[in-house]
Amino acid sequence: MILGSTQEKKGILQSIVKSDGNGWELIQVPSSGSRKPITAETIAAKENTFKMAGKSVFIFATDVIPQIIGEVTAKAGIRPDQLDHIIPHQANVRIIDFISKKTGINKDRFLLNLDRYGNTAAASVGLALDENVTSGKIKPGHLVLIMGFGGGLSWGGILIQF
């Protein structure tokens, strides 16, 4: 995403970024970085591949995503039902279905590409954003909340006026 200044009333209206290191083991690559460098032994043990505690991450995501929606919209002085679109991290359609039901936000407001690409990890929000801007689905004036969650555990959201 390329950002620049503007005099118009558009752009990033609000954002939050949060983390809780207590959940670091739930989403990780066990052998990577400086904590546990990759060695022949860790490769043989398949510790250099992505590991996730699926059920725990589902519970985490279905708790924090509604919080992101509520907190970002409240800070921006709008209601969640005023959002034109939500682009969530494209981790799992069950998570998104659950969030839609939990928040009462119709699933058609969630812009997804999981059906075509699967979980594209950290690229998921950017890919979905680009796809929907390029196709014209996101129009000038639309309020779009993009949000993600991941390792650490970390989560956040950005409200953009297009």
pLDDT tens digits for range 103-124: 999 999 999 999 998 888 889 9
In a domain, 39, yes or no: yes
DSSP 41-102: HHHHTTTTS-EE-HHHHHHHHHHHHHHHHHHHHHHHT--GGG-SEEE---S-HHHHHHHHHH
Which residue positions in the chain have pLDDT lower than 50? none
Is 90 domain-assigned? Answer: yes
* Separation CA 7–CA 9 (nearest Å): 7
Polymer length of the chain: 162
Number of domains present in the structure of the chain:
1
Q: Is residue 144 part of a domain?
A: yes
| CB contact set of 134 (below 8 Å; sequence gap of 6+) | none
CATH number of the domain where residue 100 is located: 3.40.47.10
For residue 4, being part of any structural domain is answered with no
Write down the pTM of the prediction: 0.86
Q: Name the average pLDDT for the chain.
A: 92
Closest CA to 70 of 82, 84, 57: 82
What pLDDT score was predicted for residue 2?
66
The pLDDT of residue 33 is 85
Give me the pLDDT at residue 4, please. 65
The pLDDT of residue 6: 66
CA angle at residue 148 from 142 to 154, to 5 degrees?
A: 140
Domain span holding position 154: 11-161
**How many Cα atoms occupy the beta-carbon half-sphere of 101 within 13 Å?**
6
